[in-house]
Amino acid sequence: MGKVILDMDTGIDDALAIAYACAIPELELLGVTTTYGMAPVDQSVRNTLLVLELLKCDAPVYRGAEKPLVRSRVYSGTFHGNDGLGDVNRREPKRTAEEMHAVDFIIEQSRKHGSDLTLVTTAPLTNLALAIQKAPDIVGKLGRVVTMGGAVAAPGNVTKFAEANIIIDPHAARVVFSSDLPITLVGLDVTRKTVLRQEAAEKWREKGTESSVFFATFTEYYLQAYKKYHPYLQGCALHDPLAVGVAACPDLVGTVPMHITVDLDEDALGRTVEDIHRESPASPNTQVCMGVDAERFVSDFLSRTDQA
Ligand code: BDR
Ligand code: CA
């Protein structure tokens, strides 16, 4: 069984990723570390706790970074709502987060489980960058980092070049990609090909349980945003669930080894770029997902989350 930590800014597709991870018996969910991103960190904590409660999963939740290393964060509720989950929830979770900071949990678990541990990040990379800066020894220990973020050949979704999780904290991303950690990059090159259609949300609504109706309602919010901004997709992208899928089943994707660096120049801020112009040759630092068996992934996601 693969031990896994999810590092999230729990918005809508992060919540779908939690449901998927909980439904994969081969993954042992050690905990969820949270950060700001689509909403402030305290909202991410609440969303994570509520989603886990509805899924009847008692994995511990850790509060992490509140802001990017250098930049400042301005929130917009366009894709995820002001509360990160489509502004449809009326109640508070019963549990609270653990005392330990998310960064310390990542360090502790990396030291404890070493190569058995996979960290799946679906948020700005601030928690992981802070963990590397505080405890550089985790670089040689942590088994694998599967990161939803970036766009290598595909266009960005915030600017022409940059994807949200990277551009929100490009300095943290720079720390992570310069670190020698074994990274698999699940970027827009593949996640835009994995599409959830309206019928899935309708099916969850018809099921009529508290969790399935909640999932249907916030997913419909996301679908509406996609209809407005990316109508050609005919559904919403399963960005964060695909990272969980890759952690559980690496052969869902085809990867290309590259040396990825993060652009910090203003005109291309947050671009994840293959560093082909480097002066001294460096070995590849990232397995970049460039192909995906989207049909197999979406059907696996739907059949497993049907239990939620
Ligand atoms: C990423 O940004 C957020 O909107 C999603 O949750 C995902 O992690 C996609 O660019
Ligand atoms: Ca996310």
ipTM, two decimals? 0.99
pLDDT computed for residue 306 by the predictor = 84
- Does residue 280 surpass a pLDDT of 60? no
Nearest CA-CA partner of 43 in 108, 105, 109, 92:
92
pLDDT computed for residue 77 by the predictor = 83
pLDDT computed for residue 252 by the predictor = 98
- Does residue 187 surpass a pLDDT of 90? yes
Please, which pLDDT band fits residue 283 given cuts at 50, 70 and 90? confident
pLDDT computed for residue 307 by the predictor = 66
User: How far is residue 55's CA from residue 149's CA, in Å, rounded to a whole number?
Assistant: 26
Nearest CA-CA partner of 150 in 11, 298, 269:
269
pLDDT computed for residue 277 by the predictor = 62
Q: For ligand 1, is residue 293 a contact (CB within 6 Å)?
A: no
Q: For ligand 1, is residue 79 a contact (CB within 6 Å)?
A: yes
Q: For ligand 1, is residue 14 a contact (CB within 6 Å)?
A: yes
Return the structure tokens found at 92.
């508070």
Q: Which of 122, 158, 185, 192 to mutate to test the pocket of ligand 1 (most atoms within 8 A of CB)?
A: 122
Q: For ligand 1, is residue 239 a contact (CB within 6 Å)?
A: yes
Please report which ligand is nearest the Cα atom of 75. 1
What angle (nearest 5°) sits at the alpha carbon of residue 160, between those of residues 156 and 166?
45
Backbone angles phi, psi at 115, to 5 degrees: -70, -10
Among 101, 230, 239, 277, which one carries the catalytic annotation?
A: 239
Q: For ligand 1, is residue 163 a contact (CB within 6 Å)?
A: yes
Backbone angles phi, psi at 274, to 5 degrees: -75, 125
Nearest CA-CA partner of 33 in 136, 86, 135, 104:
104
Encoded amino acid at 275, one letter: D
Q: Which residues contact 207 (CB under 8 A, 6 or more apart)?
A: 213
Please, which pLDDT band fits residue 308 given cuts at 50, 70 and 90? low
Please, which pLDDT band fits residue 275 given cuts at 50, 70 and 90? confident
The predicted model scores a pTM of 0.97
DSSP structure class, residue 30: E
Which ligand 1 atom is the nearest neighbour of the CA of 13?
Answer: 6
Q: Is 239 a catalytic residue?
A: yes
- Does residue 1 surpass a pLDDT of 80? no
Instruction: Report the share of the chain in percent with pLDDT over 90.
Output: 92
Q: What is the mean pLDDT of the chain?
A: 95
pLDDT computed for residue 202 by the predictor = 95
pLDDT tens digits, 119-173: 999 999 999 999 999 999 999 999 999 999 999 999 999 999 999 999 999 999 9
DSSP bridge pairs for 272: 262
DSSP bridge pairs for 5: 31, 119
Overall residue count recorded for the chain in this entry: 308
User: How far is residue 219's CA from residue 253's CA, in Å, rounded to a whole number?
Assistant: 25
Cβ atoms of 221 and 81 within 8 Å: the answer is: yes
pLDDT computed for residue 279 by the predictor = 52
pLDDT computed for residue 266 by the predictor = 93
* Cα(216) to centroid(ligand 1), Å: 18
- What is the DSSP code string of 159-182? SSS--HHHHHSHHHHHHHHTTT--
pLDDT tens digits, 45-97: 999 999 999 999 999 999 999 999 999 988 888 899 999 999 997 789 999 99
**Mean pLDDT of all residues in 214-238:** 95
Backbone angles phi, psi at 219, to 5 degrees: -70, -35
Q: How many angstroms separate the first and last alpha carbons of the chain?
A: 21
Alpha helices in 139-238 (DSSP H): 164-168, 170-177, 188-191, 198-207, 210-229
Which ligand 1 atom is the nearest neighbour of the CA of 12?
Answer: 6
Identify the residue whose tokens are 């990825």. 260
Q: For ligand 1, is residue 186 a contact (CB within 6 Å)?
A: no
Please, which pLDDT band fits residue 258 given cuts at 50, 70 and 90? very high
* Cα(82) to centroid(ligand 1), Å: 15
Please report which ligand is nearest the Cα atom of 147. 1
